[in-house]
Structure 1
Amino acid sequence: MRINDKPINPGELRTPITLKKRTVTTDAGGFKTEVYTNVATVYARWQNAHGREVWTADMAGAIAPATVLIRYLADIDESWVVDKNGEIFEIVSIDNIMERNEYLEIKVKRLKAG
């Protein structure tokens, strides 16, 4: 498979990440809290934004934007989060590249602490 006329090397998928489903629960006091449930641990090609992308993302309010490439997973959506080494990243968009169900390109940004 090729992305932007460049072949994908499966060996580039070497960064372990955990995909987590986000659910909102209500505790005994009536307060809502977010709970993350591990769904899958996969290997990804992680590319931090650089150059002009950083300035554009900063204007949009994104913190530490990155592009993540993983093998296709059918049920992932934008409500999930990505855990990379204990840092939680919110999924901004998901692209099923060329609609071939082979790879997903995921745009993420780090969640603010607190």
Structure 2
Amino acid sequence: MRTEELRHKITLQKLTTSTNENGFEEEVWEDYLTVWAAVSNLYGREYFEAAAVQAEETVKFTIRFIKDINESMMILFRDKQYNITSIDNIKYRNKYMEIKALEVESSG
């Protein structure tokens, strides 16, 4: 992976609980970290495996290694939200991570 391939900005979001003006707790997605990423669609065998479970909207994000990322987070990219489905520390070298995420369908 070359550094110049990380040319897209993505924002990692985490679910937090806050109290609204009426005193009720509500869960909201809060920006956690903005990073540079390489973004690509699935192709070849990966695409057909995703299509078999109707997950064609899966996108692959490659970022520099960050220790505190997990599957409970969400990615914001080009005004679309993506649920993280898997995280791979590439070759366990702690240099890059490959995140597969499924686009969240907009309601309404």
- TM-score normalized by the length of structure 2: 0.83
Given the alignment of the two structures, is residue 87 of structure 1 paired with residue 80 of structure 2, yes or no? Answer: yes
The answer (yes or no) to whether the contact 2:47–2:56 under 8 Å persists in 1 is no
Q: Distance in 2 between matches of 1:51 and 1:96?
A: 21
2:6 counterpart (4, 9, 13): 13
Identity of aligned pairs, percent? 36
* Aligned match of 2:47: 54
Q: Distance in 2 between matches of 1:21 and 1:112?
A: 18
Q: Distance in 2 between matches of 1:22 and 1:80?
A: 7
**Superposed CA RMSD:** 2.3
Q: Which amino acid aligns with 2:78?
A: N
Structure 1 residues 52 and 33: CA distance shift in structure 2, 3 A = farther
2:96 counterpart (79, 96, 103): 103
Q: Distance in 1 between matches of 2:27 and 2:73?
A: 11
Q: Which amino acid aligns with 2:13?
A: K
* Aligned match of 2:31: 38
Which sections of structure 1, spanning at least 5 residues, go unmatched?
1-7
- SS of structure 2 residue aligned to 1:16: strand
- TM-score normalized by the length of structure 1: 0.79
Q: Which amino acid aligns with 1:48?
A: N
Paired residues, what number? 106
Q: Distance in 1 between matches of 2:54 and 2:19?
A: 29
* Aligned match of 1:65: 58
